[in-house]
Structure 1
Amino acid sequence: MTLHFAPGDLVRARGREWVALPSPRDGILALRPLSGSENDTVILDPKLELLPVEPARFDLPADAAMTVQAKAALLADAMRLTLRRGAGPFRSATQLAFEPRIYQLVPLLMALRLQVPRLLIADDVGIGKTIEAGLILRELMDRGEVEAFSVLCPPHLVEQWVLELRTRFGIEVVAVTSGTAARLERNLPLAQTLFDAYPHTVVSLDYIKAERRREGFARACPDFVIVDEAHACVGTHKGKQQRFALLSGLAQDPERRIVMLTATPHSGDEEAFARLLSLVDPFFGSMNFEGARYRERLARHFVQRRRIDLISSDWGEDRAFAKHETTEFPYRLSRDHLNFQETVLDYCFGVVSKAGTGQRERRLAFWGTLALMRCVGSSPAAALSALRNRASNESERLEPQIYDEDGDDEDAVDLEPSSNFETNPALLSLVQRAEELVGKHDPKLSALIDALTPLIKKGANPVVFCRYLATAEHVRDGLRKAFPKLIIEAVTGVLTPDERRDRVADMGPVEGEKEVQRILVATDCLSEGINLQQLFDAVVHYDLSWNPTRHQQREGRVDRFGQPAELVHSIMMFSPDSAIDGAVLDVILRKAEEIRKTTGVTVPLPDERGPVTDALMASMMLRRGGDKGQLALDLRLDDGTRAMEARWRDASENEKKSRARFAQNAMKPQEVAPEWEKAQSLLGSPADVKLFIERAMSRFGVPLEPRKSLLLAHVHALDSALKERLSQRNLTGSVRLAMAEPAPSGTALLTRTHPLTATLAEALVEASLDPESLSGLGVGRVGAWPTTAVQRMTRLVLLRIRYKLTIHARKERLLLAEEAALVAIEGNTITATGEPARELLNTPAAADLAPSARERFIDRAKEELPALLEGPLTGFVRSRADELAQDHARLRAAAGSASRVTVEAVTPPDVIGLFVLMPSEV
């Protein structure tokens, strides 16, 4: 006879008891030992077992070991913290290695209220869009609704996604890029695709967008997809068109769940915005913002919050983000440097005047001029590299390089471009002048040192962003001479993404050594992809970026959620003597700042760059005056200036309208917070975790050591068995723990999933359930003591309740859910549960009982336990199942199309502990 076991059933196999988990397929069992953790799960085929797999019961053993009040309270805390399959509507809460902010739960609630979640999350830079998307993913995985997924992102963000999913959400993924795909596909069967073999992937958009890969991916793509930097998938650029073709193909499947992330959804371009919205639903491509039905439907799929929205409202996030102080730092050029810049400019204008009237020839001359002047303004080293670079096939790449566009070739982001001017004696003379300046005093570098000195004295750790590789190396060498006691490194495009990440990580504090201040010199290869807030708290724009959003991206590496400093400084350096700096400030950056102050966001440059180029050239020529000013008028470059200003005005107005239309006010803090607080009360809040660790470490004779805002856990001094378990999770020596985010560099936030919490909790529960395991801990399951907490004899029963959670959706799923509960009973009546019952258990014993009296009280409680299990305790777990079903229904209620959840309690519940409390006068 074949027995069928459902998730939550107890079985006996291989000489021990197990709890059944959701099965990977029919006829196969997934089992977790009753006294072990999720990591001890086994998969077996009952037909292949030597002894039959049978149903089992979990009874309190007659010889259960006795314990004292302090250890009983510790066991109750450990039981709650070991559970990983939460019964409440936030099932993912048990798996998170961080404490999400309340506002970050809004997209999750929106997703749960949709039959097929499709969201566009457009929160500002640094608010936590990765966290918001990860919460949705983790929750749907824990509900059994997502088995496979892909994250699509630009190549420089792949490693960040891999790291975030692993460290914050406990999800292991495979990176699929041009550098890894061939290795991953090697040895796969012909009929198996890479995405069949690896169901959890982070995929480079630039790798997968190619037509031959795009079609294969569309066939094998999982039904849950996250798209980061979604705005980079719409537009006229060839690469953007390929990405849009990929996404629009994926979106055609009405059952595919898609979560798109962008900090700049609109950017003043109505057509691009319409295409982005059409990926959510073709209905939204009409842009019918005046229609009430349109706005009501879109509000279910679109969330957009500015940082100021969270700080100035009831979300209570006034300390979630640092204050930001921006200053400008003008500097003067030396006579030699000024003469060099003017000589180069005159040379360029000479080339422009001879370029003829053809639009292509003239535009190439403009691009060459702007490219060369960017390098000259950056540093003599960058200018020398550009002047020497005579490659003639790069003309089509000049424009995106000039305007700091996110190109397909991320490794070339900081290379000095070629101006493509014809080699002649005048150009060779400029090369000679640049060579002479490279070895002379640099007024710009001196100005940087002057700007950094007061910051360093205040204890700041700055990041200095340069545009070009040669400049970054020049600045790094100069700063090492100026600040010899500081750690100073450079991260540029010559390093691979892994090497960049390692170099930044190596600048962090070394365990046991005094922390040293640091300065990081970086090019824009680091303006996205690696978060720097743990090690750095200031940003210096050594070179002005010509793309306003690039400034925002640079600052967003440091000024973001999780920044421990209360104040972040940013400094923008420029020279009023420089024609190129003045042109960029007037034409681009000042205008962008006006829009930012008006709308609260940074708007990128208009896609059509011709007017921008004309306006920059006109500004430089008019600053030079004389015949150069006349040349600007002759070439009608003032038309470009007027067109540019008109486009900025349009972008500003469109952004204002967008913000007014889509401000996310559908959910209030008071709607979200209670649901999360309820989950915390069942699973343990951060304060509960801290209390457990303090008690456990003290009980093991190794109290935590307070250090300012941190705690040190000296795990090397623990019992050898515990020490070995912790070393397997890479915890050795003295572990630095932070109690709240943002966690300082070199520390880890103490959560229920932290290896120290998980290991100690699992060890305590295992020691109580299996007397032969860690016998030295002395954690028993029964006890009796007098206490001032009760007026009548009260039995406290520590339960582990298992539920069968059925999700009725497109595909019905049966899941295991678990909950730890404390129930206080007087006679046959339940008098307290939850926190009130926990307070009874936590009240210290008033005295010791004589051993004979203690045994008599415990034996009597054991005799009465079967009746309690059949009566009030079974009634309690069934009522809890009804409450949980209502919680699930409340969170999923909205559009009326969401799936339904039923909750069935497995009875009788597991009795983990039985404790008798008597009035203290007994």
Structure 2
Amino acid sequence: MTLSFSPGDLVLARGREWVALPAPRPGILALRPLSGNENDVVILDPELEIASVAAARFDLPDDARSTVQAKAALLADALRLTLRRGAGPFRSAAQLAFEPRTYQLVPLLMALRLHVPRLLIADDVGIGKTIEAGLILRELMDRGEVDAFSVLCPPHLVDQWIIELKDRFGIDAVPVTSGTAARLERNLPLAQTLFDAYPFTVVSLDYIKAEKRREGFARACPDFVIVDEAHACVGTHKGKQQRFDLLQGLAKDPERRIVMLTATPHSGDEEAFARLLSLIDQEFASVDFDNARYRERLARHLVQRRRVDLIEGDWDEDRSFPKHETTEFPYRLSADHLAFQESAIDYCLEVVSKAGDQKKDQRLAFWGTLALMRCVGSSPAAALSALRNRASNEAERLEPQIYDEDGDDEDAVDVEPNTIFANDPALQGLLDKASSLSVAKDPKLDALVSVLKPLIKAGANPVVFCRYLATAEHVKEGLRKAFPKLTIEAVTGELTPDERRDRVSEMTIEDGEKDTQRILVATDCLSEGINLQQLFDTVVHYDLSWNPTRHQQREGRVDRFGQPAELVRSIMMFSPDSAIDGAVLDVILRKAEEIRKATGVTVPLPDERGPVTDALMAAMMLRRGGHKQLTLDLRLDDGTHAMDARWRDASENEKKSRARFAQNAMKPAEVAPEWNKVKDLLGSPDDARQFVERAMSRFGVPLEKKRSLYIAHVHALQESLREKLGQRGVEKSVKLATAEPAPSGTSLLTRTHPLTAALAESLVEASLDHEALPDLGIGRVGAWPTPAVSAMTRLVLLRIRYKLTIHSRKERLLLAEEAALVALQGNSIVAIADTAREMLNTPATADLAQIARDRLVNNAKSELPTLIEGPLAAFVKKRAEELVEDHARLRAAAGSASRVSVEAVLPPDVIGMFVLMPGEV
């Protein structure tokens, strides 16, 4: 007879006991050892086994080892921390390596409301959109609803997603890019696609959008997709159009779950916003959202919150984010530097005046002059490079580089642009001046040093953003001379993305007990893709960006969720002597700041750049004086008026959009209670810390306390534990933080931290297997006197398994597990959970003689079968009923039509039993 096993059943196979997990297909068993972890799962076919597979029981053995109070308490904590398949309504809680903020659970609840989740998460920069999307993904995976997924993102974000999925959610995904795809596809069978072989992928949008790959991906694409930087997929630019065609093809499958992320969903462009919404529902491309009924429909799919909404509103998340102090730092140019800028501007204006009547020729002249003037304003080194790089055939590429708009399809370009001017004698004079100034004293660099000195003295770690590669190298060398004791590095586009990440991570090197202070000089290749909040707390805009969104991106690398500093500073440097800086401040940055204050968000420049270019040139000419006639002749004032009008329209549209779609429906009281209940069951970060402290002491290697941190000397543990930890990447001495955000060079000590997990699994294994860590003395029975009880009390440590059936469009049967500590006096349960744990944790008042201890333990063992069939079975059944109510309550709050039934697997596993006597015996 063939036995049928379902998730939660105990199975005897290959000479040991296992618990059955959800099987990949009928007739096959997925089994996890009772004393093992999720990585020890085996897949087997009962028909191919030499010894038959049979049902099993888990009983407290007659030869169970005896233990003392402290070790019994340690075992109870270890059991609770090893379980990963939570029975509560937040199934994913046991898998997370961080404590999500309550507001970050809102998109998850919104996703659970929908039959087919399709969401646009449009929260502000730095709130944690990656975390919010990851929570949805992890929860649906743990509910058995997602077994494959793809994250689609710009190429510079691929590595960041791989790291976030691994470190925060315990998900190992593979990167699919132009550099990795061929290697991943090598040796695959012809009938198998890369996405069949690798179910968890992070895919470069620019790799997969190509027509030759797009159709194949649409056929193989998993039914759960996350799209990061979704706003970069809906423009009219060729690359954006290819991305939109890709997403539109994926969205045609009505069963595909899609979560899109963007901090700039609207940006004043109604058409682009409509295209974005069409990926949720094709009807949204054309509906009138002034109509309340349509807004209500969209509100089920769109969450859009500014940081101020979370800090000042009901969520009270003030400490989730640092305070942000913004200042401006004007500096004076020397006579020589000012004369050089004046000469460069005169030359450029002369070129513009000779451009002729053709609009195209005028525009090319404008772009070329603006490109050169950007370099002149950045540094003599950048100006020298630009002046040498003339006779370019890439004039059409100048405009996006001038306005810092090169991040959608490639890294931000930080090489000095080629000019489009002919080789003439006037250029030689500028070259000579730039060359001499590049080795002279630089007033801008001196101003930077004066800005940084008080910050460095106060302990700050700044990032200095420059526009051009030559400027970054010039600044790096200058700062190394000014601050010889600090770690100072530069990250520019000369480095590959991996080299940039390595260069930043290497700056965590410490000098003895004190972190070495650091300064990072970076170009805008680092304004997206690598989060810097763990290492840096200050941003200096050495060069003004001509795109206000880029300023926000720079600051967003540091000022974001997870920043350990309470205060983040950003400093904008400019020279009031410079016509270039003055024009950019007047035309772009000041107006962008006015809009940000009015709307709460940064609105990008209007898409049409002609009026912006005209306005900049007009402002520059008028600041210089004597060029009024040229301004009138070229009708540049018309561009100024046109730009003002278009930006004003964009601002109004953004305000209207924010007012329409503000996410105010869900309140903290609807989210927090269920999550807090889960935390109590699984153990808080503080519980994990106490466990690791006690466990390391038991292993003879106590944690070393240093200020607010702990150091775990893993290298001093016994060999079997060292090997287990080494397999998880934990070696030598590990710095541990006990509260988020964790400082740089440390990791947050949670229940999923490799150290916590390895210690907990080892202790449970040692209690169940006499041969595992025999010297530790972790047993499963014991007896001792304690002031915690006034009558003889038996504490029973249970591992309870449940069969969860989710009744929805596709019925799924899942395994869930909980640890429970139950205190009984006679046949009556007198305490559970924290109250019972307090009894167990109360130190014994004395040691019992072995004969007395054995007698108490043996008497309790003899009564155990009655307890299991009576009060303990009733407790487990009641707990199953409570879980049904918990699931129903959360699903009702989420508006979900599905329901969950919970069946307790009886009898529960008795991991330990301890007899507590009142006082001293």
TM-score for the superposition, normalised by structure 1: 0.98
Q: Quick check: 733-742 or 290-299, which moved more?
A: 290-299
Aligned partners of 1:892, 1:581: CA distance in 2, in Å? 55
- Give the structure 1 partner of residue 339 of structure 2: 339
Give 1:428 shift. 2.9
Aligned partners of 1:854, 1:574: CA distance in 2, in Å? 79
Residues 122/848 of structure 1: CA separation in 2 closer, same or farther (3 Å cut): same
1:82 aligns with 2:87: no
Q: Give the AA of the match of 1:657.
A: K
- Give the structure 2 partner of residue 667 of structure 1: 666
Q: Give the AA of the match of 1:684.
A: G
- Give the structure 2 partner of residue 761 of structure 1: 760
1:52-91 correspondence to structure 2 within 5 Å = 52-91=52-91
Residues 897/757 of structure 1: CA separation in 2 closer, same or farther (3 Å cut): closer
- Give the structure 2 partner of residue 655 of structure 1: 654
- Give the structure 2 partner of residue 317 of structure 1: 317
- Give the structure 1 partner of residue 518 of structure 2: 518
2:217 alignment partner, SS class: helix
- Give the structure 1 partner of residue 439 of structure 2: 439
Query: CA deviation digits over 1:451-510, x for unaligned, max 9?
Result: 111111111111000001111111111111111111111100010000000000011133
Give 1:52 shift. 0.7
1:773 aligns with 2:768: no
Query: CA deviation digits over 1:187-229, x for unaligned, max 9?
Result: 2222222211211111111111122211111111111111111
1:643 aligns with 2:642: yes
Q: Give the AA of the match of 1:336.
A: D
Q: Quick check: 401-410 or 529-538, which moved more?
A: 401-410
Q: Does structure 2 conserve the Cα–Cα contact (< 8 Å) formed by 1:112 and 1:898?
A: no
Give 1:407 shift. 4.2
Give 1:796 shift. 1.2
1:885-896 correspondence to structure 2 within 5 Å = 885-893=884-892
Residues 507/153 of structure 1: CA separation in 2 closer, same or farther (3 Å cut): same
- Give the structure 2 partner of residue 223 of structure 1: 223
- Give the structure 2 partner of residue 712 of structure 1: 711
Q: Does structure 2 conserve the Cα–Cα contact (< 8 Å) formed by 1:410 and 1:525?
A: no
- Give the structure 1 partner of residue 211 of structure 2: 211
- Give the structure 2 partner of residue 683 of structure 1: 682
Q: Does structure 1 conserve the Cα–Cα contact (< 8 Å) formed by 2:153 and 2:202?
A: yes
- Give the structure 1 partner of residue 179 of structure 2: 179
- Give the structure 2 partner of residue 487 of structure 1: 487
1:908 alignment partner, SS class: coil
Q: Does structure 2 conserve the Cα–Cα contact (< 8 Å) formed by 1:232 and 1:240?
A: yes
Aligned partners of 1:740, 1:412: CA distance in 2, in Å? 35
Query: CA deviation digits over 1:694-730, x for unaligned, max 9?
Result: 2212223332222111112223333343333333333
Query: CA deviation digits over 1:106-148, x for unaligned, max 9?
Result: 1111111211111111111111111111111111111111111
Q: Give the AA of the match of 2:71.
A: K
- Give the structure 2 partner of residue 589 of structure 1: 589
Aligned partners of 1:304, 1:884: CA distance in 2, in Å? 32
2:368 alignment partner, SS class: helix
Give 1:287 shift. 4.7
Aligned partners of 1:512, 1:713: CA distance in 2, in Å? 16
- Give the structure 2 partner of residue 359 of structure 1: 359
Aligned partners of 2:730, 2:351: CA distance in 1, in Å? 64
Aligned partners of 2:800, 2:212: CA distance in 1, in Å? 51
- Give the structure 2 partner of residue 748 of structure 1: 747
How many residue pairs end up in the alignment? Answer: 921
Give 1:842 shift. 1.4
- Give the structure 2 partner of residue 912 of structure 1: 911
Query: CA deviation digits over 1:29-80, x for unaligned, max 9?
Result: 1111111111221122222211111111001101111111111111110000
- Give the structure 2 partner of residue 392 of structure 1: 392
1:190 alignment partner, SS class: coil
Residues 412/690 of structure 1: CA separation in 2 closer, same or farther (3 Å cut): closer
- Give the structure 1 partner of residue 731 of structure 2: 732
Query: CA deviation digits over 1:724-750, x for unaligned, max 9?
Result: 333333333332110101111111100
Aligned partners of 2:191, 2:852: CA distance in 1, in Å? 71
- Give the structure 2 partner of residue 873 of structure 1: 872
1:384 alignment partner, SS class: helix
Aligned partners of 1:687, 1:316: CA distance in 2, in Å? 22
Give 1:918 shift. 2.2
Give 1:771 shift. 1.1
- Give the structure 2 partner of residue 254 of structure 1: 254
Aligned partners of 1:920, 1:193: CA distance in 2, in Å? 68
Q: Give the AA of the match of 1:286.
A: S
Aligned partners of 1:620, 1:153: CA distance in 2, in Å? 38
1:319 alignment partner, SS class: helix
1:410 alignment partner, SS class: coil
Q: Quick check: 816-825 or 648-657, which moved more?
A: 648-657
1:11-30 correspondence to structure 2 within 5 Å = 11-30=11-30
2:906 alignment partner, SS class: strand
Q: Does structure 1 conserve the Cα–Cα contact (< 8 Å) formed by 2:103 and 2:668?
A: yes
Give 1:397 shift. 1.0
Residues 271/739 of structure 1: CA separation in 2 closer, same or farther (3 Å cut): same
Query: CA deviation digits over 1:637-671, x for unaligned, max 9?
Result: 11111111112211222222222222211211122
1:88-487 correspondence to structure 2 within 5 Å = 88-407=88-407, 410-411=410-411, 413-487=413-487
Q: Structure 2: which 5+ residue stretches go unaligned?
A: none
Residues 407/755 of structure 1: CA separation in 2 closer, same or farther (3 Å cut): closer
1:893 alignment partner, SS class: helix
Identity of aligned residues (%): 81
Give 1:391 shift. 4.8
Query: CA deviation digits over 1:514-552, x for unaligned, max 9?
Result: 422111100000000001111111111011001111001
Q: Does structure 2 conserve the Cα–Cα contact (< 8 Å) formed by 1:19 and 1:31?
A: yes
1:41 aligns with 2:44: no
Q: Give the AA of the match of 1:848.
A: D
Q: Quick check: 432-441 or 286-295, which moved more?
A: 286-295
Aligned partners of 2:201, 2:732: CA distance in 1, in Å? 34
1:7 alignment partner, SS class: coil
Aligned partners of 2:590, 2:642: CA distance in 1, in Å? 16
Q: Give the AA of the match of 2:796.
A: V
Aligned partners of 2:339, 2:563: CA distance in 1, in Å? 43
- Give the structure 2 partner of residue 698 of structure 1: 697
Structure 1 ranges of 4+ moved more than 6 A? none
Q: Does structure 2 conserve the Cα–Cα contact (< 8 Å) formed by 1:113 and 1:891?
A: no
2:910 alignment partner, SS class: strand
Give 1:864 shift. 1.3
- Give the structure 2 partner of residue 802 of structure 1: 801
1:32 alignment partner, SS class: strand
Q: Does structure 2 conserve the Cα–Cα contact (< 8 Å) formed by 1:86 and 1:94?
A: yes
1:573 aligns with 2:582: no
Q: Does structure 1 conserve the Cα–Cα contact (< 8 Å) formed by 2:467 and 2:543?
A: yes
Aligned partners of 1:842, 1:265: CA distance in 2, in Å? 52
Q: Quick check: 863-872 or 890-899, which moved more?
A: 890-899
Residues 896/700 of structure 1: CA separation in 2 closer, same or farther (3 Å cut): closer
Q: Give the AA of the match of 1:774.
A: L
Q: Does structure 2 conserve the Cα–Cα contact (< 8 Å) formed by 1:738 and 1:747?
A: yes
Q: Quick check: 367-376 or 285-294, which moved more?
A: 285-294
Q: Does structure 1 conserve the Cα–Cα contact (< 8 Å) formed by 2:537 and 2:565?
A: yes
Q: Does structure 1 conserve the Cα–Cα contact (< 8 Å) formed by 2:232 and 2:408?
A: no
Give 1:411 shift. 4.3
Q: Does structure 1 conserve the Cα–Cα contact (< 8 Å) formed by 2:546 and 2:584?
A: yes
Query: CA deviation digits over 1:391-448, x for unaligned, max 9?
Result: 5321221111111113455346111111211222222332232222212221111111
1:217 alignment partner, SS class: helix
1:841-880 correspondence to structure 2 within 5 Å = 841-880=840-879
Q: Quick check: 842-851 or 122-131, which moved more?
A: 842-851
Residues 48/512 of structure 1: CA separation in 2 closer, same or farther (3 Å cut): farther
1:243 alignment partner, SS class: helix
Q: Give the AA of the match of 2:188.
A: L
Aligned partners of 2:156, 2:722: CA distance in 1, in Å? 38
- Give the structure 2 partner of residue 898 of structure 1: 897
